[in-house]
Structure 1
Amino acid sequence: MDGKQGGMDGSKPTGPRDSPDTRHQLSLRTLITQGWLVNIMTADHVSPLHEARLRGHPSCVKILLKHGAQHGASIQPESDLASPIHEASRRGHMECVDSLIAYGGNIDHKISHLGTPLYLACENQQIACVKKLLESGADMNQGRGQDSPLHAVARTASEELVCLLMDFGADTQAKNAEGKYPVELVPPESPLVQLFLEREVPLL
């Protein structure tokens, strides 16, 4: 019996072309070929790029960017909505972050109530995204308001992220709106306190 005919139950074999991501790609390419607008917005201000990023379809993100999808969350030049790179960074969608950066996404885009993509990645402990953003030139001291990415990771007591930010030159002596250094936000029982002190933080 030819194994290519299907399974024992008569079901059809599946392959790469049958995967959900491939089907989405084919549908997307068909729509674009038919003149579908890649920057069309829903009533909730969700763009196709947002939708592809939210669903974790990096291949669709690349297709949309290639055909002129805007990096911002809204067609309006100024918006408080999260941009695709903010959402991708927050959720740890590394391939999407990579594509957005490659197509000129603003890695230091600061939204008042969200902060920068780096800040969101740090706040949600998305280590791979934090590293990618830093390696791509993100400002390691720009966060949300006066709260820096280092303040964010100090709260979570993430040693790996603290070390990563420090290695890229994060300011350990920056104060937030409450006048606190990052070290003051570290849980007192955490060994990170000693690490901060070793990096020449002013003694408190």
Structure 2
Amino acid sequence: MSYIYQWLDVPWGDGDMGSWADRSPLHEAASQGRLLALRTLLDQGCPVDSVTIDNVTPLHEACLSGHVPCVRALINAGANVNAATIDGVTPLYNCCASGNVGCVELLLQNGTHTHTTHTHYPSALHEACKRGNSQCVESLLSHGADPDYKVSNLGSPLYVSCLHQHAACTKILLHRGADVNVGGGRGDSPLHAAVRQDNADLVSLLLDYGADVNLRDDNNRRPREVAPDGGRAQQMLLSFEVSPRSLCQLCRLQIRNLLGRTRLELLDLLPLPSLLTHYLEHT
């Protein structure tokens, strides 16, 4: 079973895929959320990390189905929270595919890695951004996930979020200090991705966080040049070019850059008036 199924919107494990034929009763119980049966099987000595031919574990199944009690029971029984399938899919990735933040939190509290060691492997953060699961994005970033982590052929989480037009995920990433200009393939920036789809709300958000309107893709085109003719995004960029950022906006961007991403979360601790703190936080 290939990782590509994930990015074609076919949920992993859906249908008669190859690995289902060799699933154990523990896999079935975890997938269906049958907690009593799962505990009984564990008490009878079923290996908690039993795998299919594709290295799918019961924890993978429970996470994909979003069954928090089963995930907790498997973790308490010693399940490997960082187990990976032959395609590099982890339980955390499956949690982000299902959008269950409760499962995400359980894994993060029990030693799961926010990113794999190989940049070509699937990323939980990218999957959450692709599917618009903003609570999962928030949880991952709160536990130290890198908002600028790039995956081969996918680009940055911000680029994926803009490509799939998820404003809430985009806002969280930018608030947490994601680089607004780190994009994906073809030299595209997140602004290119938003503009191509004429998403004026995303374009406005990206510009507010300092998106560079002069970046060029691999075809030497700026965002305005890939915008649908006559669309809202094109009009917004045309207006921006004749009326650039105010001094107030420029100061905020400069201060945030000087603070650095790792210090942005400490803004509330600074002895500043709340109005100034909110200004720096874009709130």
TM bucket, shorter chain: 0.7 to 0.9
User: Quick one: distance in 2 between partners of 1:56 and 1:193?
Assistant: 33
Aligned to 2:177: 137
2:158 corresponds to 1:118: yes
2:194 corresponds to 1:153: yes
User: Quick one: distance in 2 between partners of 1:31 and 1:193?
Assistant: 51
User: Quick one: distance in 2 between partners of 1:92 and 1:118?
Assistant: 11
Q: Percent identity?
A: 40
The answer to whether the 8 Å contact 1:86/1:120 transfers is yes
Superposed displacement of residue 78, structure 1: 2.2
**Which amino acid in 1 is paired with 2:168?**
A
Output one character per residue of 1:123-161: Cα deviation in whole Å (capped at 9) or x when no partner: 000010001100110000000142100000110000000
User: Quick one: distance in 2 between partners of 1:29 and 1:67?
Assistant: 10
* Structure 2 unpaired stretches of 5+: 1-61, 243-283
User: Quick one: distance in 2 between partners of 1:112 and 1:36?
Assistant: 29
Aligned to 1:40: 83
User: Quick one: distance in 1 between partners of 2:104 and 2:195?
Assistant: 32
**Closer, same or farther: CA 82–40 of 1 in aligned 2, 3 Å:** closer
Question: Please, what TM-score do these two structures have when normalized by structure 2?
Answer: 0.60
Aligned to 1:60: 103
**Which amino acid in 2 is paired with 1:121?**
S
Aligned to 1:51: 94
The answer to whether the 8 Å contact 1:32/1:38 transfers is yes
User: Quick one: distance in 1 between partners of 2:235 and 2:77?
Assistant: 61
Superposed displacement of residue 170, structure 1: 0.3
Output one character per residue of 1:9-35: Cα deviation in whole Å (capped at 9) or x when no partner: xxxxxxxxxxx99x8222111111111
Aligned to 1:27: 70
Superposed displacement of residue 189, structure 1: 2.2
**Closer, same or farther: CA 85–29 of 1 in aligned 2, 3 Å:** same
Task: Name the SS of the counterpart of 2:241 in structure 1.
Answer: coil
User: Quick one: distance in 1 between partners of 2:165 and 2:232?
Assistant: 18
**Which amino acid in 1 is paired with 2:83?**
I
The answer to whether the 8 Å contact 1:82/1:114 transfers is no
Aligned to 2:217: 176
User: Quick one: distance in 2 between partners of 1:176 and 1:196?
Assistant: 16
Superposed displacement of residue 193, structure 1: 2.0
**Which amino acid in 2 is paired with 1:131?**
K
Superposed displacement of residue 112, structure 1: 2.7
User: Quick one: distance in 2 between partners of 1:134 and 1:44?
Assistant: 30
Superposed displacement of residue 50, structure 1: 1.1
The answer to whether the 8 Å contact 2:183/2:190 transfers is yes
Question: Please, what TM-score do these two structures have when normalized by structure 1?
Answer: 0.82
**Greater RCO (CA < 8 Å, at least 6 residues apart):** 1
Aligned to 1:14: none
* Structure 1 unpaired stretches of 5+: 1-19
2:115 corresponds to 1:86: no
**Closer, same or farther: CA 46–107 of 1 in aligned 2, 3 Å:** same
- RMSD (Å), alpha carbons: 1.7
User: Quick one: distance in 2 between partners of 1:188 and 1:130?
Assistant: 25
